[in-house]
Amino acid sequence: MLVLGIETSTPQASVAIGSEQGVVASAMVSRGASYNEFLLPAIRFCLDEAGLGYRNLGGVAVGLGPGLYSGMRVGVATAKALAQALSVPIVGLASLDLVAYEVRYSAKTICAVLDARRNKVFHAFYRSSPGGIQRMTRHAIESPERLSVGIASRPEEVLMVGNGALLYRHIFEEAGSVIEVGSMSHAFPDARALVELAIPRMFREDFDSLFDLQPLYLRRSAKPIEWERIRGSRA
Amino acid sequence: MIDDPSAGSPVATLPSPLARRQPIGEWDEDALVLGIETSCDETSAAVVRGGREILSNVVGSQTSLHGEYGGIVPEVAARAHVEALTPALAEALLQADATFWDLDAVAATRGPGLIGSLLVGIAEAKSIAAVLEVPFVAVNHLEAHLYSNLLADPKARFPALALIISGGHTLLVDAHDHGGYDVLGGTIDDAAGEAFDKVARFLGLDYPGGPEIDRLSLLGNPEAVRFPRAML
Ligand SMILES: [Zn+2]
């Protein structure tokens, strides 16, 4: 079964096409064109290079974030429309889970950390398990300072991975905890890992509902506009 | 395997793909176009035949979501479009008794509008067009307002003088031909719709203000204020 993976929830966007035998084509960009301009040409490139057409796809997988709102939305909207038009199942996976999956061979506790901007990070803790990883905490959003307190209180050594780990490394190290920070090559969720993780779910028919699938925002939407204050100032 | 506690339910299966009705670029009176509108706080999908006949027109309003804020919150609107567009598309096709594979083109509002909301409609429209290998048409929001007259009135044709009054725009347009327009004039400050919304807010009326003012105006005295009449 050929699955198309779309991951655009961080500043690094990627698409990949693969089956249970492995990824057959992928494309990635971490700067330049906006996701909206990158996505469909990138999918077209992957299909063409692999000698495939949209009709060969048996499923669509998408990175749900948490991440950058606009990127997540374009990725999820594109994946939903493709799945709907093709009448194929859709599977959504958390981008933090994809980042942790990249370092699944480590025996240490894994903490995936993605930059949420405005001095906040998205994070979750994992441990490796046979054939993959297991998430131990909920996806959360916190300041790096608060997360560093949580890490320092852990007795075991923690492997921190993701662009948030690199960005706030100094804060986590200052807290005096024993940490290792994953390299740049594992800093972002990747569509290849997405495809690899989505395929077993497709085979188990553990699909997501096309109608209910939403990005993982984790943050309540923008502040309500304070009309009361505006009205008061006029009087 | 990732241990994900939020496992989903199976996807609803839709009919299997059929052959495309006709090759790209060929246009006829029976051409089916899917239109997607997500520029503001309404999620809309419609199927139109031959540019004149509305086969379906599904509109989902987000008014209840924005009501508590007293206005449209862009992030709330963008999130709601992602949620509402999938069922709107399914419903629009169902009502039109069509499948995706019957479509000859897919159109979406390009702007003006809320950027986060527009992106959702454009991304979905482009994706559907890519799968079906049919043209994607990006449509100017105001041009769409103008062309809606062609759907409302079967006798309407060009050249025409058009007055566009919406939430964000008030324009007088000389529409001399398909796709050919000259703006003759417009508001120098707020659009008519904005004026309604702002006045409603200052009066402490419920959101959205337009329909509320409209309702209250019926109870007023039309002779209370003498307005000057413009002589043209
Ligand atoms: Zn409008």
Return the residue of B nearest to A224 by Cα.
Answer: B69
pLDDT digits (tens, 9 = 90+) for B158-178: 899 999 887 778 889 999 888
Percentage, residues of chain B above pLDDT 90: 42
Q: Which of B2, B85, B91 to mutate to test the interface with A (most CBs of A within 10 A)?
A: B2
Return the residue of A nearest to B99 by Cα.
Answer: A85
Confidence (pTM): 0.86
8 Å CB contact of A69 and B87:
no
For chain A, the straight-line distance linking the first and the last C-alpha, in angstroms and rounded, comes to 66
ipTM over 0.90: yes
Q: Which of B11, B43, B106 to mutate to test the interface with A (most CBs of A within 10 A)?
A: B11
Instruction: Output the 3-class SS for chain A.
Output: CEEEEEECCCCCEEEEEEECCEEEEEEEECCCCCHHHHHHHHHHHHHHHCCCCHHHEEEEEEECCCCCHHHHHHHHHHHHHHHHHHCCCEEEECHHHHHHHCCCCCCCEEEEEEEEECCEEEEEEEEEECCEEEECCCCEEECHHHHHHHHHCCCCCEEEECHHHHHCHHHHHHCCCCEEECCHHHCCCCHHHHHHHHHHHHHCCCCECCCCCCCCCCCCCCCCCCHHHHHHHHC
Alpha-carbon gap: B35 to the closest alpha carbon of chain A (Å): 14
Alpha-carbon gap: A76 to the closest alpha carbon of chain B (Å): 8
**Of residues A82, A133, A208, nearest to B131 (C-beta):** A82
Q: Which two tokens stand for residue B190?
A: 């707020």
B96 at interface of A, judged by CB pairs closer than 8 A:
no
B67 at interface of A, judged by CB pairs closer than 8 A:
no
Give me ligand 1 centre to Cα A61, in Å: 34
Q: How confident is the model at residue B226, as a pLDDT?
A: 86
8 Å CB contact of B8 and A213:
yes
**Residue B154 · residue B52 · CB < 8 Å:** yes
Q: Which of A52, A87, A97 to mutate to test the interface with B (most CBs of B within 10 A)?
A: A87
Residues on chain B touching A234 (C-beta within 8 angstroms): 202
Mean pLDDT of A138-164: 94
Q: How confident is the model at residue B70, as a pLDDT?
A: 66
Alpha-carbon gap: A232 to the closest alpha carbon of chain B (Å): 10
Question: Cα separation of A8 and A17, whole Å?
Answer: 15
8 Å CB contact of A40 and B126:
yes
pLDDT digits (tens, 9 = 90+) for B192-203: 888 888 888 888
Lowest mean pLDDT among A92-101, A189-198, B89-98, B168-177: B168-177
Q: What is the CA radius of gyration of chain B?
A: 21
Cβ atoms < 10 Å from Cβ of B185: 10
Q: How confident is the model at residue A227, as a pLDDT?
A: 38
Which residue carries 């019957």 as its tokens? B102
**Of residues A82, A205, A212, nearest to B127 (C-beta):** A82
Q: At B223, is the pLDDT very low, low, confident or very high (cuts 50, 70, 90)? A: confident
Residue among A139, A90, A69, A4 nearest B86 (CA)? A90
Mean pLDDT of A32-42: 83
Q: Which two tokens stand for residue A191?
A: 């569509």
Which residue carries 């989505």 as its tokens? A198
**Of residues B3, B8, B75, nearest to A208 (C-beta):** B8
The residue count of chain A comes to: 235
- pLDDT at position B13 over 70: no
Question: Cα separation of A86 and A30, whole Å?
Answer: 28
Q: What is the CA radius of gyration of chain A?
A: 19
Q: How confident is the model at residue A122, as a pLDDT?
A: 98
Residue among B84, B93, B76 nearest B60 (CA)? B84
Which residue carries 């709330």 as its tokens? B76
pLDDT digits (tens, 9 = 90+) for A85-139: 999 999 999 999 999 999 999 999 999 999 999 999 999 999 999 889 999 999 9
Q: Which of A38, A80, A214 to mutate to test the interface with B (most CBs of B within 10 A)?
A: A80
Contacts of A100 (CB under 8 A, 6+ apart): A110, A112, A124, A126, A133, A135, A161
**What residues have a C-beta under 5 A from ligand 1, the ion?**
B 166
8 Å CB contact of B68 and A134:
no
Return the residue of A nearest to B132 by Cα.
Answer: A85
Q: Which two tokens stand for residue B208?
A: 């959205």
Residues 141-200 of B with CB under 8 A from A: none
Alpha-carbon gap: B87 to the closest alpha carbon of chain A (Å): 7
B126 at interface of A, judged by CB pairs closer than 8 A:
yes
Residue among A12, A20, A98, A19 nearest A62 (CA)? A98
Q: How many Cβ pairs closer than 8 A exist between chain A and B?
A: 153
Alpha-carbon gap: B212 to the closest alpha carbon of chain A (Å): 18
Residue type for position A52: L
Give me ligand 1 centre to Cα B225, in Å: 30
